[in-house]
């Protein structure tokens, strides 16, 4: 396994694989070694993680009251029928 | 993550399932309020209208109740619900003769750049080839828990809407709804590597959209 360093552009390309556990150990180490010496890439990783966190915190519009009522009604029917 | 953190939701879920099977309406109401909105959001990615999306969500809950007694709990209840939902939404879209993400082979995993072309020096640069052209700062505007102000929230929603269909679906299921990579692969019949490529492209584009807005406003 080569011991060379990866470029900033390569680090960006590997970010999802890195965070989703898709990288083999040598590649993961290269990724981390790059981060320790590269402030802009640390900035990028911060932005990347913030993006994922923001996505996970997106509010969802609730179901309409009609659908909700229909479901509760269906539950009552289901409950009796089983 | 410790095993305690992992087992607690599982225990909660076992209790929820028992409560549903015992006919506890409050438990069902709580479950609808928890997952109903997120399910609607996913259904809207396939449906031709809000009304159709609501119908798909409704059918999904009915299918879930019908099969609950036989649910083997090999996945979480949430994953099971989303899997039923995606399958129903797909079938419905096909019946209506509309194109369905991932229905064409091969999957549209196009190798496109997600960063803006001016973010890196190109290969010919004597000293800084493939390095950042700009200062890349961590965003102070987005706290760790990811809660955004109204305008940033609108930008984020717009950026997700602007994604190509397959990327939008993977991003929504994985990053927005919190399904694991494996769960997304199962629900969409995708390979792990395709799933990660689509997710990555989507994340870079969404990050790029947020970056533009934040750079304009933090300057």
Predicted pLDDT at A21? 87
- ipTM entry: 0.90
For chain B, say whether A42 makes contact (Cβ under 8 Å).
Answer: yes
Whether A25 has a pLDDT exceeding 80, the answer reads yes
C-alpha separations of B4 from B8, B10, B38, B145, B181 in Å = 6, 10, 26, 22, 22
Give the count of beta carbons closer than 10 Å to the beta carbon of residue A55. Answer: 22
**Which of 109-168 (B) contact A at CB < 8 A?**
115, 120, 129-132, 134-139, 142, 144-148, 152-153, 156-157, 160
For chain B, say whether A37 makes contact (Cβ under 8 Å).
Answer: no
Per the CB < 8 A criterion, the answer to whether B166 and A72 are in contact is no
pLDDT tens, position by position, B75-104: 889 999 999 999 999 899 888 887 766 654
Domains, chain B, ranges and CATH? 13-95 (1.10.1740.10), 117-218 (1.10.10.10)
Q: Is B29 exposed, middle or buried (0-12, 13-18, 19+ CB in 10 A)?
A: middle
**Which of 23-52 (B) contact A at CB < 8 A?**
23, 25, 28-29, 32-33, 36-38, 40-41
Q: What is the CA radius of gyration of chain B?
A: 20
Say which DSSP state B175 is in: I
- Is A57 close to B131, i.e. CB distance below 8 A? no
pLDDT tens, position by position, A33-56: 999 999 999 999 999 999 999 999
Predicted pLDDT at A70? 97
Q: Which residues of chain A have a CB within 8 Å of the CB of B210?
A: 47, 50-51, 54
Query: How many whole angstroms separate alpha carbon A47 and alpha carbon B215?
Result: 12
Query: How many whole angstroms separate alpha carbon B16 and alpha carbon B10?
Result: 10
Block means of pLDDT (10 residues each) for chain B, 219 residues, are: 51 90 96 96 92 97 94 88 93 82 50 64 84 81 66 92 93 96 91 93 94 78
């Amino acid at each position: 396994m080569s011991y060379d360093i990866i470029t900033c552009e390569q680090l960006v390309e590997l970010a999802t694989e890195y965070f989703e556990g898709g990288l083999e150990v040598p590649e993961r180490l290269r990724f981390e070694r790059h981060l320790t010496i590269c402030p802009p890439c640390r900035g990028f990783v911060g932005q990347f993680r913030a993006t994922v966190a923001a996505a996970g915190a997106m509010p969802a519009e609730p179901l309409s009251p009609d659908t909700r009522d229909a479901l509760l009604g269906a539950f009552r029917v289901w409950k009796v029928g089983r | 993550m410790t095993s305690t953190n992992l087992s607690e939701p599982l225990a909660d879920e076992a209790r929820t399932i028992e409560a549903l099977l015992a006919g506890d309406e409050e438990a069902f109401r709580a479950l609808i309020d928890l997952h109903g909105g997120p399910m609607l959001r996913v259904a809207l990615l396939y449906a031709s209208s809000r009304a159709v999306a609501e119908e798909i969500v409704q059918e999904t809950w009915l299918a879930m109740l019908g099969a609950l007694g036989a649910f083997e709990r090999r996945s979480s209840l949430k994953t099971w619900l989303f899997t039923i939902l995606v399958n129903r939404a797909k079938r419905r879209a096909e019946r209506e003769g509309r194109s369905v993400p991932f229905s064409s082979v091969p999957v549209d995993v196009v190798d496109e750049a997600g960063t803006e072309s001016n973010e890196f020096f190109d290969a010919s640069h004597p000293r800084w080839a493939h390095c950042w052209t700009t200062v890349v700062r961590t965003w102070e505007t987005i706290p760790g828990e990811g809660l955004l102000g109204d305008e940033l929230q609108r930008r984020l929603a717009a950026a997700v809407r602007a994604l190509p269909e397959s990327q939008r679906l993977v991003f929504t299921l994985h990053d927005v709804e919190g399904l694991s990579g494996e769960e997304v692969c199962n629900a969409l019949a995708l390979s792990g590597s395709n799933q990660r490529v689509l997710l990555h492209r989507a994340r870079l584009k969404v990050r790029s959209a947020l970056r533009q807005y934040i750079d304009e406003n933090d300057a």
